[in-house]
Structure 1
Amino acid sequence: MKKFFVQNIFSEVANKYDLMNDLMSFGFHRYWKKKAANCIRLHHKDNKIIDLAGGTGDVARILVNRGATDVTVADINQDMINVGKDKDLKSHNSKYIKYIKWIQQDAEEMDNFVDGEFTHCTMFFGIRNMTNISLVLKNIHRILDEDGQFVCLEFCPPKSTILGGIYKSYLNNFIPFLGKFVAHNYKAYKYLSDSINTFPETNKFIDILQNSGFNKIMVEKTIPHVANIFSCYK
C-alpha cells in the first residue's frame, strides 16, 4: 500500500532529509518555501496554523519567524518529527520551542481535529505523497474556519520543450543517483522522482481543489519554474 511504502521511505531518509533537499534543489527549496509562506495572510493575533506533511518543521520555523505564535506540525512519520524536535532543541530558539507543536498525524484521517479549528493550512511538497488527494483536501477544507486559507507548494514540469527535457533527465537520473550516494537510498529518491512525474498537471489540480470546495484559487510560479504555489480559500 502506498501509504506505508511512503512512510517507510521517509523513516529511512529522515536523518539526511534536510541535507538532500538542499542538494537536490541547489538550495532553491528554501527560497520557494519562504515565497509560499509569504502568501499566508496573518491577519490577526488568533491565527492558528497547521502544516500538514510538515516533516522536520522547516516551514513551521519560517512561519514563526514571520510572527505566527500557534503552529502545529503534523506528519505521519514519527522519525521525521523526532528529527525536527531535536533541531529545535539544539537551536536553543525559545520561539520555536514555545510556538511550534508536533503531532503524528495521517492527513487522510483527521477526525481528531474539529470543524473550523484552524485559520490556515500549509502543505509544501507533500500533497503528491497522499494516497487519496481529494480526501486530504476535503479534510483540510473541513478543519479550516469560515475564511480559512490553504497554501500548497508542489512541483510541476516546465512547459518549455528544452527545459522540460533537462528537468526530466534531472528527475529520472540525477536525483536517484544523489540519493544513492548521499542518503544511501536509491529507492527512496527514485520514488521521489516518480511521484513528481505522476502528480496532476496544474489545471487538473485546480479542478481537484475546486471540487473539494476551495475558491479564489491563485497560482504563482517559482523561479526557476519547477514548482507552483497554490493559494485558495474555504
Structure 2
Amino acid sequence: MARQLSFDLPVRPALGREDFFVSPGNAMAVALLDGWRNWAGGKLVLYGPEGAGKTHLAHVWAGSTHATILNAADLEGADIPALAKNHVAIEDISAIAGNRPLEETMFHLHNLVLAEGNRLLLTDVRPAQVWGLSLPDLQSRMQGAQSIGLKAPDDALLSAVLTKLFADRQLFPSPDTISYLLRHMDRSFSSAIKVVAAIDKTGLEQSRAVNRKLASEVLDKLRSA
C-alpha cells in the first residue's frame, strides 16, 4: 500500500463535565471541586500524573465558576489585579520554580485572589511539598493548601481515558482494540496519550482502520524505539 502523507490536524479534547469519567481513583477530587465554596483557606492543590485529568477537571471547575485558567509560565506580564477579580486556576506551578519574577507574580496573585474572597485552584504533576519554589513565602503557602491527588488508573478508568483520547481524534477503534491495549500497554495516562497518538499517526500514514492488529504493530514499534 502506498504511503500517504499525514497531516497534524488539531486535536480538540472534549473537556465538559459529561466527558469526565468518575472512578474510585478520582472521586474524591471531583467531590472537592464540586465543594469549592468550602475549600480550606480558599485554595486547592490538584496533583497527579500527566493525562490524569487535571486540566479536564480544571476546565470543568472553571466552566461552573467562571474562573480564568492560566499556565504558571504564562503569568509574565499578566494583569494580576484584574485576574484576582475572579476565581483562578493556575496549572503546572512547578514549571516556575527558580524563576524569581514569576514566583513573585504568583505570590502576588495568590494573595490578591484570596483577599478578594475568590478561589484559587493549583495543578501540577507532583504535590506542593516537592515543587522546589525558591520564594519561601510562596512555597509555605502552597504547602499549606488543601490538596488532593489523582491516583493511578484502574481498568475502568484507563479504558475510559483511551476511549476519550480516540474520540478526541475522531477515531473509532474496533471493539477488541481497547481491551488489547489494556492488557499490553504500560499502565499510565502518559502512555495512553503516547499510544493513541502513535496509532493515529500510523493509521493516517497507511490509510488503515484502528483495530487490534494496528494497535499490536504500534506497541511493538514503540517498545523497540
TM-score, with structure 2 as normaliser? 0.36
TM-score, with structure 1 as normaliser? 0.35
Which protein is bigger by CA-based radius of gyration? Answer: 2
Greater relative contact order structure (CA < 8 Å, 6+ sep): 2
- Structure with the higher strand share, 1 or 2: 1
